[in-house]
Amino acid sequence: MLTHRERMQACLKGEQTDRTPVALWRHHPVDDQDPELLAAATLHFQNTYDFDLVKVTPASSFAVKGWGVQDQWLGDSEGSRRYTRRVIQEPGDWEKLKPLDPNSTHLAGQLACLRLVKQGLAPETPLLQTIFSPLAQAKNLAGNDLLIRHLREYPAAVLQGLQTIAKTTADFIEAVRGVGVDGVFYAIQHAQGALLSLDEYKTFGVPFDQHALEASKDLWCNMLHLHGRDVYFSLLRFYDFQIVNWHDRETYPSLSEAHSLFHGALCGGLRQDTLVLEDQAKVKQEAADALAQTKGQRLILGTGCVVPITASHGNLLAARRSVE
């Protein structure tokens, strides 16, 4: 049998593997406010299911709390927190943002969590840190409606703010590399038709993504997450990722279509709702269909996003065992 690392590396090269890799991840609400507890929860999840990679999933606010936002745990089924205080109110506020140092309180806390996970994780298991795109962080600073209004009415101010966020993100990724991760899980939330036009994303998203990702380009296990529906899959040509993850059961392209559009590995095949609302037979059915669509090549079985915290233990086991 291959190790997790060997299996993942073979998958990314399109080589034959002993089985299809599988990876699921989830939020750990409340625990995600303490680096030691988040590390312990992440390791417990991995020790329970033995996935082929571990993605550390902090609350999105870790990246922006240094600028003054506040959030609260209100019981969201995906495990995410709700923002209760934003810091961008007026167009000029974008220009007031100053870069955050990776050693600032909240970024340093996430680095501490990552080190603990690295120490407790089997060395042959790939480790990824979640990174939110500058535009996704800007949404959390302003709220989505205000962000989109500002970028259309006051583009110069927003562009200046995005430059600050991108520098902060690039510096943080450099610090993440120092921990010894295998890749980043890069979450893009605005590359979808319901939010921005393709040209708008090319202006307000792509250049700042590229700036932020410069520090990760020599890592071997980077995963791009395209969040939402009607995603701009064509944007992949502007990036250099080994893996792409999106809501393949809910939006174009399907796994089979993506197999011909992207030459790296695909991560998907399972619907979030299936893991919450259906039984183990349905989970196994979706997994089998995913393998059929891709002929088991360049596929990492997973969901289009985080596993909801309400997903049953039995269904997670079924997902893990479906590739055996």
Residue 297 φ then ψ, to 5°: -110, 135
Residue 315 φ then ψ, to 5°: -70, -35
Residue 76 φ then ψ, to 5°: -60, 140
**CATH number for 222:** 3.20.20.210
Q: Beta partners for 265?
A: 243
Q: What is the C-alpha to C-alpha distance for residues 58 and 243, in angstroms, rounded to an integer?
A: 20
The alpha-carbon radius of gyration of the chain (Å, integer) is: 19
- pLDDT for 84-106, tens place per residue? 999 999 999 999 999 999 999 99
- Half-sphere exposure (Cβ direction) of 272: Cα atoms closer than 13 Å: 16
Q: Is 188 exposed, middle or buried (0-12, 13-18, 19+ CB in 10 A)?
A: buried
- Half-sphere exposure (Cβ direction) of 310: Cα atoms closer than 13 Å: 11
- pLDDT for 7-23, tens place per residue? 999 999 999 999 999 99
Q: What is the C-alpha to C-alpha distance for residues 294 and 289, in angstroms, rounded to an integer?
A: 9
- Supply angle C-alpha 305, 310, 316, rounded to 5: 70
Report the pLDDT averaged over residues 289-313: 98
Q: What is the C-alpha to C-alpha distance for residues 14 and 8, in angstroms, rounded to an integer?
A: 10
Q: What is the C-alpha to C-alpha distance for residues 208 and 190, in angstroms, rounded to an integer?
A: 13
Q: Average pLDDT of the chain?
A: 98
Q: Is 324 exposed, middle or buried (0-12, 13-18, 19+ CB in 10 A)?
A: exposed
Q: What is the C-alpha to C-alpha distance for residues 32 and 213, in angstroms, rounded to an integer?
A: 24
Q: What is the C-alpha to C-alpha distance for residues 156 and 230, in angstroms, rounded to an integer?
A: 27
As given in the structure block, the two tokens for residue 139 are 């949404």
- Report the domain count for the chain: 1
Do 54 and 117 form a contact (C-beta atoms < 8 A)? yes
Domain that holds residue 222: 4-321
3-state secondary structure 266-277: EEEEECHHHHHH
Residue whose pair of structure tokens reads 């959030």 in the numeric block: 71
> Where are the extended beta strands (E) located within the chain?
54-56, 70-72, 82-85, 127-132, 183-188, 223-226, 243-246, 265-270, 299-303
As given in the structure block, the two tokens for residue 120 are 């407790």
Q: Above 90 in pLDDT, residue 151?
A: yes
What single string gives the DSSP state of each residue in 75-95? --TT-PPEEEE-S--STHHHH
Report the pLDDT averaged over residues 142-157: 98
Q: Above 90 in pLDDT, residue 1?
A: no
Report the pLDDT averaged over residues 277-296: 98
Report the pLDDT averaged over residues 68-92: 98
Q: What is the C-alpha to C-alpha distance for residues 22 and 14, in angstroms, rounded to an integer?
A: 15
Which pLDDT belongs to residue 164?
98
Q: What is the C-alpha to C-alpha distance for residues 38 and 48, in angstroms, rounded to an integer?
A: 15
As given in the structure block, the two tokens for residue 194 are 């319901």
Q: What is the C-alpha to C-alpha distance for residues 60 and 79, in angstroms, rounded to an integer?
A: 11
Q: Above 90 in pLDDT, residue 117?
A: yes
- pLDDT for 183-233, tens place per residue? 999 999 999 999 999 999 999 999 999 999 999 999 999 999 999 999 999
Terminal Cα-to-Cα distance of the chain (whole angstroms): 11
